[in-house]
């Protein structure tokens, strides 16, 4: 269960601990890296994004101070400038500060801005990677985004460019042959679809929507086509947070066998791999 706990302010120090930008992954605590878990457990202060699963926050020490600094499109959000000032302020007290983000800090997590801000204020930074939602979405579908016969790469793309920034080159992406993993794209799905079709992609191109990838009880996966994307979003009542996957690679539906149904490796085959026979008992 997540919580916010006030604690005494730590004694100031001349040399602040490095701030850790920690990727909490897509939700399931089992998908945390060992390094992320250690950072969370050692933290005095955690600045937590909206999309971090409460079960991950609950891994912090009872004495840790949890500060919610969520940002969601179309909702009341904590300004990025405030978050950056708060990181410096907390670090300068001598606290071990963890900036806890959903997914991976370096993939649409604004880590670049935070690293630069910390450096400008003489504070070190450690980045702890997490499983990004685009990969979690592929896992949920059981589909390789880089199937060797169907795609030679994958592009992680934002559907929500910075205000005043350049628009995504959708025409260029349409020509690339890459599988597209579009983050924050639900609100602009109509524009994205139209731009990709105008760029030459066929309406029949396989696509999928994965809502709340990696979140138990909330994850939903729906396969569709580029041309039917809007109708699918409306019919299935899909919304953010969601990943849009688009590309030929989605035509190859992988048949992942649930662990409970997986065949037992025959003893003769187990003998080929050292240690497997022993593990099987």
**Terminal C-alpha separation, the chain:** 38
How many CB atoms are closer than 10 A to CB 260? Answer: 5
Q: How far is CA 16 from CA 79, 88, 223, 275, in A?
A: 24, 9, 48, 46
- 117 sits in the region (left: phi over 0; alpha: psi -120 to 50; else beta) called alpha
> Given 28, 44, 49, 104, which residue is catalytic?
49
| Whole-angstrom Cα Rg for the chain | 21
Indicate if 71 belongs to the active site: yes
> Given 28, 44, 101, 184, which residue is catalytic?
184
Question: What is 86-114 written as a DSSP string?
Answer: HHHHHHTTT--EEEEESB-TTTTS-HHHH
Indicate if 184 belongs to the active site: yes
Q: How far apart are CA 101 and CA 113, in angstroms?
A: 14
Q: How far apart are CA 225 and CA 247, in angstroms?
A: 9
Indicate if 101 belongs to the active site: no
Assigned token pair, 80: 């990025």
Assigned token pair, 149: 């016969």
By the 10 Å C-beta count (0-12 exposed, 13-18 middle, 19+ buried), 64 is classed as buried
Assigned token pair, 254: 């992988």
Helices 80-91 and 111-120, packing angle to 10 deg: 40
Q: Which residues form the catalytic set?
A: 49, 71, 184
């Amino acid at each position: 269960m997540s919580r916010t706990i006030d604690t005494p302010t730590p004694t100031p120090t001349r040399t602040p601990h490095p701030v850790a930008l920690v990727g909490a992954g897509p939700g399931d605590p089992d998908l945390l890296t060992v390094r992320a878990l250690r950072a969370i457990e050692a933290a005095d202060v955690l600045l937590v994004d909206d999309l971090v699963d409460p079960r991950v926050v609950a891994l912090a020490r009872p004495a840790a101070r949890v500060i919610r600094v969520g940002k969601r499109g179309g909702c009341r959000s904590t300004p990025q400038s405030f978050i950056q000032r708060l990181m410096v302020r907390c670090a300068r007290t001598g606290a071990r500060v963890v900036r806890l983000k959903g997914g991976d800090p370096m993939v649409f997590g604004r880590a670049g801005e935070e690293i630069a801000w910390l450096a400008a204020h003489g504070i070190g930074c450690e980045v702890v990677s997490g499983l990004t939602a685009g990969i979690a979405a592929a896992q949920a579908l059981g589909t390789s985004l880089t199937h060797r016969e169907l795609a030679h790469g994958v592009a992680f793309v934002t559907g929500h460019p910075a205000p005043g920034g350049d628009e995504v080159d959708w025409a260029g992406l349409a020509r690339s042959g890459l599988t597209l993993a579009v983050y924050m794209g639900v609100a602009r799905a109509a524009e994205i679809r139209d731009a990709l079709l105008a760029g030459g992609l066929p309406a029949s191109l396989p696509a999928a929507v994965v809502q709340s990838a990696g979140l138990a009880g909330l994850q939903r996966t729906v396969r569709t086509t580029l041309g039917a994307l809007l109708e699918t979003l409306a019919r299935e009542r899909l919304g953010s947070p969601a990943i849009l996957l688009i590309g030929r690679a989605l035509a190859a539906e992988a048949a992942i066998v649930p662990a409970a149904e997986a065949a037992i490796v025959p003893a003769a085959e187990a003998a080929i791999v050292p240690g497997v026979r022993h593990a099987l008992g």
